[in-house]
Amino acid sequence: RFQGLAQSLPRQKLSAIAAEDLPRFSTGVEEFDRVLGGGLVPGGVVLLGGDPGIGKSTLLLQALAEMSASGMNVLYSSGEESAAQIALRAKRIALDAPQLEVLAEIQLEKLLSIMDTVKPQVLVVDSIQTLYSEVLSSAPGSVAQVRECAAQLTRAAKSSGICVLMVGHVTKDGHLAGPRVLEHIVDTVLYFEGDTHSSFRLVRSIKNRFG
């Protein structure tokens, strides 16, 4: 019934474990790489939080476009915009990413099936509040749904090596999708901050298991 996010391994002496730097790959956005500690880690799960309209989706779309242009297999899944709306936004910010794949999906089980079939190197889920699992009766965005969807996506990322980036909107009291319900599940937590009327934005790292 209960399942951890990492695989169970036999006990080992600390001195016998090879401590190696994890392989990373660039997002194609230098400043984003810097706040991530050098880039994305295969199988890593990143939560990017911030107020609605601050630019989270645009930043991740730009990063995916850069990774796609470098030959990586990437996928952008949106529960907030249709594929046509995503294409319009990409055109508005002059993104040239003909190979970037997008889809509009809000059901977790369907998204997990697509992950297993397509096997992207990087998946963006925009946003975690729009996803729902059919095993729960609560509405999308509820604490139970957000926790379940994030946990399932994290398990899938760890078992497949797919890097997952989740968008999470900050609530009125400053929490991410509820009372910090996601921070302990994911590997990295970033906050996107700034004034929506200003051209300056700040991405702040709150937690990063990969340094």
Segment 136-168, tens digit of pLDDT:
999 999 989 999 999 999 999 999 999 999 999
Cα angle: 73, vertex 47, 118; to 5 degrees: 25
SS3 state at 159: helix
| pLDDT > 70 in the chain, percent | 89
Cα angle: 167, vertex 29, 161; to 5 degrees: 60
CB atoms within 10 A of CB 23: 9
Please give the C-alpha separations between residue 75 and each of 1, 87, 124, in angstroms, as whole numbers: 31, 13, 6
Is residue 19 scored above 80 in pLDDT? no
Q: Look up the pTM and report it.
A: 0.89
pLDDT, position 29 = 96
Give dist(CA 116, CA 109) in Å, integer.
Answer: 11
Please give the C-alpha separations between residue 6 and each of 2, 37, 116, 141, in angstroms, as whole numbers: 12, 22, 18, 25
pLDDT, position 179 = 46
In whole angstroms, how large is the CA radius of gyration of the chain?
17
Q: Which amino acid is at 8?
A: S
Q: Please write the tens of the pLDDT for every residue from 73-118.
A: 999 999 999 999 999 999 999 998 888 999 999 999 999 999 999 9
Parallel, antiparallel or unpaired: strands 74-78 and 163-169: unpaired
pLDDT, position 115 = 97
**CATH numbers and ranges of domains, the chain:** 42-208 (3.40.50.300)
Residue 112 φ then ψ, to 5°: -65, -40
Question: Which one, of 85, 90, 40, 34, lies nearest residue 62 by Cα?
Answer: 90
* Averaged pLDDT for residues 16-36: 88
